[in-house]
Amino acid sequence: MSQKQQQGSGSHHDNPLPLDCYIHNVSKIQKAQLSNRQYFNCIVQSSENPIRAVCYSPEKRAQIHAIASSKSPVKLRNFKLGDHGNDLVITKHTKIDPLAREDIPFAISEELAASSTGDPIKLSSVHTLAGEQLISVKGEVSSISAVKTVSTHFSANTPKQDIIIRDPTASFKVVLWGDHVDSLTLNQTYLFKNLRVKITKYERYLNTPRSDEFTANEIEPFTDPLVPLEQEVSTTSIITGSIIGVHKTFKTLICQSCQKRSIDVSGNLAVCQACELSQVPASCPVHWLVRLLVKPEDSTKKLRLSLSNEVLKQFFSIRDIPVDLTTISEEDLILSILDTSLEKFKMTYDNLTNELVNINID
pLDDT tens for each residue of 233-286: 556 788 999 999 999 999 888 888 888 877 888 888 989 888 888 999 888 988
Question: Any idea what DSSP says for residue 183?
Answer: -
For residues 349 and 248, membership in a common domain is answered with: yes
Does residue 14 belong to any structural domain of this protein? no
Residue 185 pLDDT > 80: yes
> Is 56 in a helix, a strand, or coil?
coil
Does residue 11 belong to any structural domain of this protein? no
Among 186, 218, 250, the domain-final residue is 218
Does residue 45 belong to any structural domain of this protein? yes
Residue 305 pLDDT > 80: yes
pLDDT tens for each residue of 188-197: 999 999 999 9
Mean pLDDT computed over 293-302: 87
Among 108, 133, 159, the domain-final residue is 108
For residues 151 and 52, membership in a common domain is answered with: no
CA angle 251, 256, 261 (to 5 degrees): 35
As to burial, measured by CB atoms within 10 angstroms (0-12 exposed, 13-18 middle, 19+ buried), residue 90 is buried
Mean pLDDT computed over 331-358: 87
As to burial, measured by CB atoms within 10 angstroms (0-12 exposed, 13-18 middle, 19+ buried), residue 139 is buried
For residues 277 and 338, membership in a common domain is answered with: yes
Name the least confident of 76-80, 111-115, 154-158, 159-163.
154-158
Name the least confident of 103-117, 150-164, 317-331.
150-164
For residues 340 and 257, membership in a common domain is answered with: yes
Does residue 13 belong to any structural domain of this protein? no
Among 185, 218, 251, the domain-final residue is 218
How many structural domains is the chain composed of? 3
* C-alpha gyration radius of the chain: 25
Mean pLDDT computed over 274-299: 89
For residues 127 and 240, membership in a common domain is answered with: no
Does residue 162 belong to any structural domain of this protein? yes
Does residue 302 belong to any structural domain of this protein? yes
- What pLDDT does residue 234 have? 57
Quickly state the pLDDT bin for 11 (edges 50, 70, 90).
Answer: very low
pTM: 0.57
Residue 79 pLDDT > 90: yes
Q: In whole angstroms, give the CA distance from residue 4 to residue 50.
A: 16
Is 5 in contact with 15 (CB distance < 8 Å)?
A: no
For residues 279 and 331, membership in a common domain is answered with: yes
List all residues 6 or more positions away from 266 whose beta carbon is below 8 Å from its beta carbon.
none
The phi, psi pair for 275, rounded to 5°, reads -115, 0
Top pLDDT among 63 and 87 is at 63
- What pLDDT does residue 97 have? 95
Mean pLDDT computed over 274-303: 89
CATH classification at residue 170 = 2.40.50.140
Residue 161 pLDDT > 50: yes
Does residue 140 belong to any structural domain of this protein? yes
b/e 152-166 (16+ beta carbons within 10 angstroms → b)? eeebbebbbbbbbbb
Which helix H or strand E contains 280, and what residues bound it? none
Does residue 319 belong to any structural domain of this protein? yes
Quote the mean pLDDT of the chain. 86
For residues 272 and 169, membership in a common domain is answered with: no
Q: Cα dihedral angle (169, 170, 171, 172), rounded to 10 degrees?
A: -120
For residues 287 and 178, membership in a common domain is answered with: no
Mean pLDDT computed over 215-225: 95
Q: In whole angstroms, give the CA distance from residue 156 to residue 256.
A: 10
- What pLDDT does residue 333 have? 93
- What pLDDT does residue 94 have? 94
For residues 146 and 82, membership in a common domain is answered with: no
**Residue span of the structural domain in which 322 resides:** 236-361
For residues 184 and 257, membership in a common domain is answered with: no
Mean pLDDT computed over 79-103: 87
For residues 275 and 299, membership in a common domain is answered with: yes
252 DSSP β-pair partners: 287
Is 146 in contact with 236 (CB distance < 8 Å)?
A: no
Residue 36 pLDDT > 80: no
Quickly state the pLDDT bin for 110 (edges 50, 70, 90).
Answer: confident
Q: In whole angstroms, give the CA distance from residue 295 to residue 313.
A: 21
For residues 249 and 342, membership in a common domain is answered with: yes
